[in-house]
């Protein structure tokens, strides 16, 4: 019997279909609050600290960090943390490893949705959506054959930093745009790259050759601020950066300077540091920056599939089976 095992769901907005999967097997506890923003840092935090003692699994829906205090309150019977995200930089990996707690994430099921947003950001930055939307809002259109001209994807070189599930999905979606060349960088050459017609290159080669650079890697000590002043200086002056990974892949101060000084052409971000980005942040003063509020996986189908995958990881962990999508600690 597993009904005597307790599972804690960290936010009130867990998909109902996924919640039902958990409830069929376990006693499910769920906070009545959102685990985001100030509510997550205050009301939700206190509620989770009250609910977690005795729980065998934690389903984490949030970009807030999992604290040592919360893990201490859980007790030694906590066996698994299932984060409802592909990234896991917020999961206190070292602490989970030290305690022997398993960690799962939800990669792959969100690749298509995130890739669609990457393509949208690429188009928005290349075709100067910010400036053109401002014209519509003001009612003052710049009329002329040479006004507010953007850049073509057709004939360009697109560089993918991290040819994982999201990176591969981006290449597939851009294939119909008559891209001249796809290149990618990473730890090693991948057979999927050859199948997609993408060439494996060094990071420096990617930075210097690409017209469009798509960041689709997780945030680690190695990748933090991989886009910095030095690497921005290597890029073409027509280069466009798209980030659908994590905000801290980019040194935002360096990016601001590069965009303001027209050292590169534009950028499109679905992720920033912090989130939400304050409305008076200096990045938002730039006309050549197109920003979305971290909506990469925000479709009904994708968020439901993420929740169900997290639920099934918990089931496997608490019934002696292998995790479906384990994070290697």
Return d(Cα 116, Cα 108) in angstroms, integer.
14
CB atoms within 10 A of CB 155: 11
By the 10 Å C-beta count (0-12 exposed, 13-18 middle, 19+ buried), 27 is classed as: middle
Q: Which of 25, 187, 225, 294 is catalytic?
A: 294
Tokens of 260: 């303001």
Tell me the three state secondary structure of residue 80.
strand
> Cβ contacts of residue 304 below 8 Å, gap of 6+?
15, 17, 18
Q: Are 291 and 277 in contact (CB under 8 A)?
A: yes
**Is residue 294 annotated as a catalytic residue, yes or no?**
yes
Distances (CA, A) of 37 to 105, 144, 252, 272, 280: 21, 44, 21, 14, 18
Question: What's 227's DSSP letter?
Answer: B
> Cβ contacts of residue 134 below 8 Å, gap of 6+?
287
Question: In the block, which residue shows the tokens 């943390």?
Answer: 81
Query: Which secondary structure element, helix H or strand E, spans residue 158, and what is its range?
Result: strand 157-161
Tokens of 198: 């993408």
Residue 73 φ/ψ region, left for φ over 0, alpha for ψ in the -120 to 50 degree band, beta for the rest: alpha
Residue 248 CA neighbour count, 13 Å, CB half: 11
Return d(Cα 59, Cα 239) in angstroms, integer.
39
**Active-site residue numbers?**
294
């Amino acid at each position: 019997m597993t009904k005597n095992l307790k599972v804690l769901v960290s936010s009130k907005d867990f998909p109902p279909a996924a919640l039902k999967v958990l409830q069929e097997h376990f006693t499910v506890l769920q906070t009545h609050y959102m685990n985001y923003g100030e509510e997550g840092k205050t009301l939700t935090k206190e509620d989770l600290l009250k609910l977690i003692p005795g729980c065998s699994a934690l389903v984490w829906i949030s970009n807030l960090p999992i604290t040592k205090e919360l893990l201490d309150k859980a007790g030694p019977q906590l066996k698994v943390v299932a984060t409802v995200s592909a990234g896991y930089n917020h999961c206190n990996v070292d602490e989970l490893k030290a305690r022997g707690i398993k960690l799962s994430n939800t990669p792959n099921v969100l690749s298509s949705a995130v890739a669609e947003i990457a393509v949208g950001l690429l188009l928005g930055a290349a075709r100067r959506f910010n400036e053109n939307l401002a014209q519509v809002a003001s009612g003052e259109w710049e009329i002329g054959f040479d006004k507010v001209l953007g850049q073509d994807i057709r004939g360009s070189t697109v560089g993918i930093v991290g040819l994982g599930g999201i990176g591969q999905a981006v290449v597939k979606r851009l294939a119909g745009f008559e891209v001249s060349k796809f290149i990618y960088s990473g730890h090693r050459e991948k057979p999927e790259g050859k199948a997609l017609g993408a060439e494996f290159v060094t990071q420096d080669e990617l930075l210097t050759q690409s017209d469009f650079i798509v960041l689709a890697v997780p945030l680690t000590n190695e990748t933090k601020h991989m886009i910095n002043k030095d690497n921005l200086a290597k890029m073409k002056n027509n280069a466009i950066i798209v980030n659908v990974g994590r905000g801290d892949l980019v040194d935002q101060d360096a990016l601001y300077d590069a965009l303001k000084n027209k050292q590169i052409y534009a950028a499109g971000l679905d992720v920033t540091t912090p989130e939400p980005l304050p409305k008076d942040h200096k990045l938002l003063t730039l006309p050549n920056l197109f920003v979305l509020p971290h909506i990469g996986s925000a479709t009904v189908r994708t968020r439901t599939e993420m929740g169900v995958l997290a639920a099934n990881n918990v089931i496997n962990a608490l019934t002696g089976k292998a995790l479906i999508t384990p994070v290697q600690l």
